[in-house]
Amino acid sequence: MKRGIVIFGIFLLFIALLWLAKITIAIDVSGKITGESIAGMTITGKATSQPTNVSIFVLPTVPTLTIISPESKTYLTNQSLLLNYSATNEAEVWYNLDDSENITITSFVYFNATQGAHTLNLYANNSNGESSASVNFSANSSRCTIHCDEFNGSLKGESTNFDGYDTHEDLQNLSNITLENAEYGKIVFNEEINVTNDEIPEDDDVDIDGFVNVSFNRIEINSTALPNFNISSTLYLYNLSYTNPRILIDEQLCPSSICTINNYSSGTLSFNVTSFTIYSAEETPTAPPSSPPGGGPGGGAVTEVKGIELDKEKISVSLKQGETKKETITIKNTGKQKIKISLQTAEIKDLMKISEESFELNAGDSKTIDLDFIAREDTIPDLYIGKLIVKTDRTEKEILIAIEVESQKPLFDVKVEIPERFLYVLPGEEIMANIKLFRVEGKGKVDVKVEYIIKNEQNEIILSEEETRAVETEMSFVKAFRLPSNIEDGTYIFYVKARYNGEVASSTAQFSVSKLEIPFLKKENIIIIIIIIMIFVIISLFILYEMKMLRKQIKTHMKIDENVLVKEKFIKLKTSKINSKVSNR
């Protein structure tokens, strides 16, 4: 009896527990499990044994919550940051930034933040309780600026989009970086690169445009400025016309330890390199035919291409935003055989279009090429310096090009003039320029910011200074700079930029620095100087000869006959001389 009472009590306890959990489980004859919880959750499953009655207890739980984005990193923007998360068993989800106002969300959202460090808090709840998660991150839009417009335009091809990376940490470990100009060539880097680790990583500025050049038959990386890009890579040169090309490194034949050709097909040359400098290609020369037996003039010596002649050494152009101008250059083949000529530029190709970049020129012929200079309305007013490279298989010449871009409607005009005395200076000497500021619009005295910059042919700033000048209508003054004693020989540009009310006006002048060269001893004057010296020597010799003959005639005329003097008793001859005269008679 007692045993029955115990069994009945256990049964009642079991029923009570089921009622408290509010879960009913039933197993039908097919073996399916069905049930319902207090939260309305349906449980289904397949029985692994024969149909029977089973009880399952489910403990109530709070939501699970995970923040996917943002991460604990430094974001390169503070706008439209992504909040993405995963949650289960949630009834409501909300977040706040830095413990500010709570915002309820139902899926991922984008949010804005101020510059600096932040904490994002995420919450979720249900009837069983609340869960939370948080992440610390920072926003710094100036943390790293990458200048890569050259590989982000209509010809970008497969170039890597660095703007697609959200955080500074993402840029520190990138694989398969590609820089392509779809017209000229491509670089595929074969190792991971920390893009931010350039020559000066602390300045948070990576200038890919300034130190990477992909142009016709030329791929160049300044490995000093971008040491992080100085790694093994695969290069492609497009639109070549060679039959059997070979690779050049710094205009010299590239050794197999550095360069390895992959293939050459349809004008595209693919090759691997171990590091970076300047790479190009040329036709592999064929061995000259051997001389006929006995030698003589019938030998098969290759005729040397003597070179080309250009009608300009430098071009300076001044443009306003939205303006275009045209210049020309004339190229002459001074050799004795037909040559192929290519024209290319890198630094200023967005500002200059070449009418014909590749052509052939017969011996003695000339060709005039149009250069169209274009300043778009959004071009930043500044001085842009580059070189037009005129190249043959054997020779290469450069034309220095300076393009100054001004605001479309500047409120001031600027003129700079270097006196003749300072057009040629020595290192360490002083350079002086006459500056004039003219007010185009408005009245009254205003403060104008004037910037003075001296640049070399490589567009590097040698000296710079900025000051504020109070100008009413017109102002003239002299500006002087002491050049560095270690400045290199070459042509330099004195650039003056006046800025007022967001508008920019500018002007340039050029001068030369030389340690040895004196202006009148420039190459074009040497022949004239030699001729003048020869004329002077000839005249001097003629004068000396005439003077010698004149002295001789004077001496002859002044000589007096000795007999006449004896006869006139002016002198008396000695006895020996008298006897000699008598015997002669």
DSSP calls for 122-184: EEEEETTEEEEEEEEEEE-TTS-EEE-GGGSSTT-TT---GGG--BTTGGGSB-S-EEEETTT
Residue 155 and residue 276 share a domain: yes
Look at residue 299 and tell me if it is in a domain.
Answer: no
Say how many CA atoms lie within 13 Å of 286 toward its Cβ.
Answer: 9
Question: Smallest Cα–Cα separation from 227: which of 159, 181, 275, 171?
Answer: 275
pLDDT value, residue 277: 92
Token reading at 497: 């930029």
- Residue 251 three-state SS: coil
- Going by their DSSP bridges, the two strands 218-221 and 278-283 should be labelled as antiparallel
pLDDT value, residue 334: 84
What is the residue whose two structure tokens read 């007010």? 439
Residue 278 and residue 151 share a domain: yes
Residue 221 and residue 135 share a domain: no
Query: Read out DSSP for 536-552?
Result: HHHHHHHHHHHHHHHHH
Look at residue 102 and tell me if it is in a domain.
Answer: yes
Which of 283, 317, 333 is where one domain is finished? 283
Look at residue 330 and tell me if it is in a domain.
Answer: yes
Are the C-beta atoms of residues 268 and 240 closer than 8 Å to each other? yes
User: In this structure, what DSSP letter does residue 219 have?
Assistant: E
Which of 139, 162, 187 is where one domain is finished? 139
Number of other residues whose CB lies within 10 A of the CB of residue 309 = 12
Residue 342 and residue 214 share a domain: no
Q: Look up the CATH number of the domain holding residue 341.
A: 2.60.40.10
User: In this structure, what DSSP letter does residue 257 have?
Assistant: T
Look at residue 288 and tell me if it is in a domain.
Answer: no
User: How many Å is the maximal CA-CA distance in the chain?
Assistant: 203
| Cis-peptide into 285, omega within 30 deg | no
pLDDT value, residue 442: 72
Residue 493, H or E segment: strand 490-500
Residue 158 and residue 226 share a domain: yes
Q: Considering just the CA atoms, what is the radius of gyration of the chain in Å?
A: 45
CA–CA dist 470, 448 (Å, integer): 6
Residue 115 and residue 213 share a domain: no
Which of 90, 115, 139 is where one domain is finished? 139
Residue 326 and residue 397 share a domain: yes
Look at residue 332 and tell me if it is in a domain.
Answer: yes
Token reading at 533: 């010296």
Residue 228 and residue 117 share a domain: no
pLDDT value, residue 15: 66
Query: Read out DSSP for 274-293?
Result: SS-SEEEEEEPPPPPPPPPT
Mean pLDDT of each 10-residue bin along the chain, 585 residues long: 63 61 42 42 50 56 93 93 94 95 94 95 94 95 88 89 89 93 94 92 90 94 93 95 92 91 94 94 70 40 57 89 90 85 83 89 89 89 89 83 87 89 91 89 83 90 91 89 91 91 89 71 64 88 84 65 61 55 51
CA–CA dist 556, 546 (Å, integer): 16
Residue 177 and residue 111 share a domain: no
Residue 152 and residue 122 share a domain: no
Q: Look up the CATH number of the domain holding residue 450.
A: 2.60.40.3880
476 Cβ neighbours under 8 A, 6+ residues apart: 434, 435, 436, 437
pLDDT value, residue 547: 84
Are the C-beta atoms of residues 467 and 450 closer than 8 Å to each other? yes
- Residue 565 three-state SS: helix
Look at residue 103 and tell me if it is in a domain.
Answer: yes
Are the C-beta atoms of residues 319 and 403 closer than 8 Å to each other? yes
Residue 399 and residue 413 share a domain: no
By residue range, what is the domain housing residue 193? Answer: 145-283
Look at residue 15 and tell me if it is in a domain.
Answer: yes
Q: Look up the CATH number of the domain holding residue 264.
A: 3.30.1610
Residue 389 β-bridge partners = 344, 398
Tell me the whole-structure pTM to 2 decimals. Answer: 0.43
Number of other residues whose CB lies within 10 A of the CB of residue 521 = 11
CA–CA dist 238, 376 (Å, integer): 28
Are the C-beta atoms of residues 407 and 377 closer than 8 Å to each other? no
pLDDT value, residue 532: 86
Residue 502 and residue 394 share a domain: no
CA–CA dist 251, 532 (Å, integer): 40
Number of domains in the chain: 6
pLDDT value, residue 196: 92
Look at residue 53 and tell me if it is in a domain.
Answer: no
pLDDT value, residue 514: 85
CA–CA dist 433, 422 (Å, integer): 8
